[in-house]
Structure 1
Amino acid sequence: MLILGNQPYVVDCCMPLGGFQKKQMHKNEKESKEKGKGSFAYAWAMDESADERARGITMTVGVAYFDTKNYQVVLLDSPGHKDFVPNMISGVTQSDAAVLAVDASIGSFESGMGVNGIGQTKEHAQLIRSFGVDHLIVAVNKMDSVGYSEERFSYVKSQLAIFLRSCGYKESAISWVPLSAMINENLVAAASDTRLTSWFDGNCLLDAIDSLPPAHRDVSKPLCLPICDVISSHALGQVAVCGKIMSGAIRSDSKVLVMPAGELATVRIIERDSARLNMARAGDNIAIGLQGIDPIHVMSGGVLCHPDYPVSVSSSLELKVLVLDITVPILPGLQFELHMHHAKVSASLAKIVSLLDQKTGKALAKKPRLLTARHAAIIEVKLEREVCVEEFSALKALGRVFLRSQGSTVAVGVVTRVHELKEEVLATA
């Protein structure tokens, strides 16, 4: 699974690999020129909705497939615009590796890094790493706009590398690829422009993707498939969902438990890239047609699991969080949005339990009055409704969280304890 940022190279990368038909691309070029958006023709291959094309930005997660020498790649084209970070998070949760698109042009890179606070490049990098995506390809795009300058590439790399290390990325897990998407330079074949080859002899983007290490697949644990979206499909039937299998496997005609509703359903059809499958395993991004269940019980943010191993459901959690570069302190009572796998729920900060030493994890102070930038802490949160969740130590895919307030990510963390209803009742008694 690969998540890619909102840059034209995402589409261009797939074209020579048979991902899109020339007839459709010709149609996109014609229609985009008619609307005065000729440069968006490639982006339209993934941005298919009228709203996306009108605004010229990616708003939802687009899905495409292509093959390299070593991998069958599921490409998730995720939004880069700050208004659609929650949708970007949905793409991150399904990814094994990421391509972070960086604009090399003067001013654009600096804007992404953020002059005051955290820019979109920084926020996306932090979110990607916090969701457990260890391997990162930094695609430094629009190198043609700076004359393929080695000095500009080195500057971008040096500035961004400092931040990536602070996020926890290892230098050995980061690949840096200078390219120009619009003219197909260093995209799917080695660079040819002498202004680039005179100082860069590394992989093109496609080879960098093909060089990623194989992802770990946990097929031995029970089935866990967070529902990314409830979809409309004539082929799949009235009730259909899509998502990535995080653990275990699933077969046609088998029974699954749909949480948090706790309702049983039968797997009618399994599809991957519109091809029928009898079985899918951990790591597969699939669409499933269900039967024997009322559609009201199936929702984005829910989880399909083995009937004998239901995931936990709760509205009260203990979290270990790292506060990001915020300007306003976090106080008990703060209202925010909590994001976890594909679930998004309103929540409030019930209690700051303790302040932690970031290096050792030991408590520095109990019940601090507030949290400021770069603080690590244990907190308790109350959710507006119950969500499917597990402690991070038990199931990482259901144990990572993001806290967002007023359109910005204020903290990232993991679930350290899932409070059961009995615990909540006793606490208030």
Structure 2
Amino acid sequence: MDIEEEIRSLQLDSAEDNNGVSNPEDVKPEEVEVQKPDKMEEDSKDEVCRDSLPVENVPKVKEKEVAATEDVEAEMEINKKRHLNVVFIGHVDAGKSTTGGQILFLSGQVDDRTIQKYEKEAKDKSRESWYMAYIMDTNEEERVKGKTVEVGRAHFETETTRFTILDAPGHKSYVPNMISGASQADIGVLVISARKGEFETGYERGGQTREHVQLAKTLGVSKLLVVVNKMDDPTVNWSKERYDEIEGKMIPFLRSSGYNVKKDVQFLPISGLVGLNLNKRLDKNICPWWNGSCLFEVLDSVQVPLRDPKGPFRMPIIDKFKDMGTVVMGKVESGSICEGDSMVVMPNKVSVKVIGIYCDEDKVRCAGPGENLRVRLSGIEEEDILSGFVLSSVAKPIAAVTEFVSQLQILELLDNAIFTAGYKAVLHIHSVVEECEIVELLQQIDPKTKKPLKKKVLFVKNGAVVVCRVQVNSMICIEKFSDFPQLGRFTLRTEGKTVAVGKVTDLVTSA
């Protein structure tokens, strides 16, 4: 049976997770890193002195384990704009970094002098058309190779919304980094090149357009904007026929990947390089057939589920570093945090105190769910934290397990591979990257009826849906999908290929 039909029929029970927003290679956790920020912006002298004090001398905002909701709400009144994380995904060379750079320029985050510097640098490297990408691709490896390696991170604002851009790498060698970016996102912007031959390369089997779409859906990116880029290319010249061709091919695939195309997907034509249809609608002289909105308008209008600031605190840690103490980075998936709060780092169960919170480049007193934070902690050393650990509330800490039960959708196994007990792969779940083993197949699910098949299952093939027990070597922090969708979705990868996607249905805790 066609695998796309199987995916469509399962959709990983997407109907129940459409309101969830959240989070996978043969690399160790320490190899999957996002771009580290430069040294944290200098605090004022008063703040430095205060944060340098022993924890017992730090002025206490709250003694409670979880900050009072009214304090968080009062803090949020300072900036009433909603905050959304946007991940740019798509095949290598589709124009993700260039589009992201242009957005920052058009929204006033980058000045003309900086652009002129990047133009000269790109010209010196014989990459004249890459200068906008340099805004997002900040390290030398990326500029020399002309492709994104790490997950770029930047910020911009429209009239109603603050956005964090996550620029995920498109090259298949860096899919784990893309997963790291998508696991933090609320909205996905799928960038597709309209240039002759480039769309086809990304869309064909093995192209990153397909894999990125499937991963984004699995990782909880429930809203997708499909921007057809390079419409100004001489091979396209704003052709409606080319645009319609791409849209016509993408819609069935998006449906098969679990997206409700009418409700959760929007298409629009752009030119990232010259900034057309980004912050202003297209001029009819350039594209007479387009009557829709520009990208900024679409981003402003996207509706994502409201988050609960009263829930138990959960912040998966994606990175850590030293800066007047131990600083951890991550996106708040649930609950709220205030300076002075007591927290626990899981799975090693270390009690910590929050002595500083940074949102974007600003120091804040409190922060709620959905925010990307840098949190300064006392009570733990930087070397005692790994990516995948979770900063958690003391009252209701996240579970730590070495085994769990899951429902898996097999996408496409490697040639001659059999999915059975003993199968090994690399598990990617929120910011966790860990080797795992399938220890038992419990039952096979009919993808059409979604009911268990009665026969005993020993192995399954491509397209199958199976319930199985999964075991990892080290303790990891996860949640049941039904409780926290964003911390219960995962992918399995092996030899550079995504072979299965799934969700955690039960936790196996030790007695």
Within 5 Å, give how 1:364-383 maps onto structure 2.
364-383=453-472
Aligned to 1:143: 231
Contact 2:97 2:132 in 1 (8 A): no
Structure 1 position 177 matched with structure 2 position 261? no
For 2:420, what is the secondary structure of its paired residue? coil
Deviations 1:387-406 (A, max 9, x none): 10111111112111100011
- Which residue identity does 2:430 align to in structure 1? H
For 1:416, what is the secondary structure of its paired residue? strand
Structure 2 Cα separation of the partners of residues 414 and 158 of structure 1:
30
Within 5 Å, give how 1:294-305 maps onto structure 2.
294-305=381-392
Within 5 Å, give how 1:150-299 maps onto structure 2.
150-171=240-261, 172-192=263-283, 194-196=285-287, 198-232=288-322, 234=323, 237-299=324-386
Aligned to 1:97: 187
Deviations 1:54-113 (A, max 9, x none): 211111111111111221111111111111111111111111111010111121111111
Structure 2 Cα separation of the partners of residues 371 and 50 of structure 1:
45
Name structure 2 gaps, 5 residues minimum.
Answer: 1-84, 90-95
Deviation of 1:366 (Å): 4.3
Deviation of 1:365 (Å): 4.6
Structure 1 position 318 matched with structure 2 position 408? no
Contact 2:97 2:148 in 1 (8 A): no
Change (3 A) 1:359 1:220: farther
Contact 2:405 2:507 in 1 (8 A): yes
Change (3 A) 1:396 1:32: same
Deviation of 1:214 (Å): 4.1
- Highest relative contact order (Cα 8 Å, sep 6+), 1 or 2? 2
Contact 1:7 1:101 in 2 (8 A): no
CA RMSD of aligned residues (A): 1.5
Within 5 Å, give how 1:13-92 maps onto structure 2.
13-92=103-182
More strand by share: 1
Aligned to 2:202: 112
Deviations 1:161-207 (A, max 9, x none): 101001111122111011111122112111126352x2111011111
- Which residue identity does 2:227 align to in structure 1? A
For 1:144, what is the secondary structure of its paired residue? coil
- Which residue identity does 1:41 align to in structure 2? Y
The farther-off stretch of 121-130 and 319-328 is: 319-328
Deviation of 1:360 (Å): 3.0
The farther-off stretch of 250-259 and 330-339 is: 330-339
Structure 1 Cα separation of the partners of residues 281 and 430 of structure 2:
37
For 2:419, what is the secondary structure of its paired residue? coil
Contact 1:118 1:325 in 2 (8 A): no
Structure 2 Cα separation of the partners of residues 225 and 419 of structure 1:
22
Structure 1 Cα separation of the partners of residues 504 and 210 of structure 2:
23
Misfit runs of 4+, over 4 Å: none
Structure 2 Cα separation of the partners of residues 51 and 238 of structure 1:
29
Structure 1 position 420 matched with structure 2 position 504? no
Sequence identity percentage: 33
Contact 2:320 2:382 in 1 (8 A): no
Structure 1 Cα separation of the partners of residues 454 and 176 of structure 2:
33
Name structure 1 gaps, 5 residues minimum.
Answer: 423-429
Alignment length, in residue pairs? 416
- Which residue identity does 2:268 align to in structure 1? V
Deviations 1:113-148 (A, max 9, x none): 12xx34210111111111222111001101112111
Structure 1 Cα separation of the partners of residues 102 and 389 of structure 2:
34
Q: TM-score of the superposition, structure 1-length normalised? A: 0.94
For 1:42, what is the secondary structure of its paired residue? helix
The farther-off stretch of 127-136 and 244-253 is: 127-136
Q: TM-score of the superposition, structure 2-length normalised? A: 0.79
Deviation of 1:259 (Å): 0.6
